[in-house]
Amino acid sequence: MITLEQAQTMINVALAKGVEEGWKPLSAVVLDAGGNMQAFARGDGAAPGRFDVARAKAYGAVMLGMGGKAQMARAEAQAYFMAAVNGIYGGQTCPVPGGVLIRDASGAVIGAMGVTGDTSDNDAEAALAGIAAAGLSGEA
């Protein structure tokens, strides 16, 4: 289980990482192991619809048990499968880096983080920084 304090640490560290690196403003969400919302923040200056992208990245990851990189590999190999998955989950998936599984010390998936705003790879790097700062492990 992720505490709210951990979720807020993840988000604040991820957004601060983007500022330090000079990236575009980031937005970040943390979902629990059941795909439900725990916390979200949209960086100042980010586009208004960034919540939906951040959540979709995290939602697809936790629902399928696959990080964004694995989803992107599957989309490259079999685009129609990931397109169908998007329909299956009501449009709430986004198969690119930035959706990151969160694991506890035992390796169990306890949620997912979704970051959006800069390049997908930078989004994933920001998520991993946030997850590490909360003492947990991320699978991008």
Tokens of 4: 């709210």
Q: What is the rounded CA–CA span in Å between residue 46 and residue 24?
A: 8
Site pattern 57..76 for a second copy (x: CB under 8 A)? -----xxxxx--------xx
Quick one: 44 or 105, whose CB is closer to a second copy?
A: 44
Tokens of 20: 């330090």
Site pattern 19..58 for a second copy (x: CB under 8 A)? -------------xxxxxxxxxxxxx-xxxx-xxx--x--
For residue 29, the cross-strand partners are: 40, 114
Q: What is the rounded CA–CA span in Å between residue 24 and residue 35?
A: 26
Q: What is the rounded CA–CA span in Å between residue 98 and residue 61?
A: 10
Q: What is the rounded CA–CA span in Å between residue 75 and residue 10?
A: 28
Q: Is 4 in the site for a second copy (CB under 8 A)?
A: yes
Site pattern 111..140 for a second copy (x: CB under 8 A)? ------------------------------
Residues at the site binding a second copy, with contacts judged by CB under 8 A: 3-4, 7-8, 15, 32-44, 46-49, 51-53, 56, 62-66, 75-76, 78-96, 109
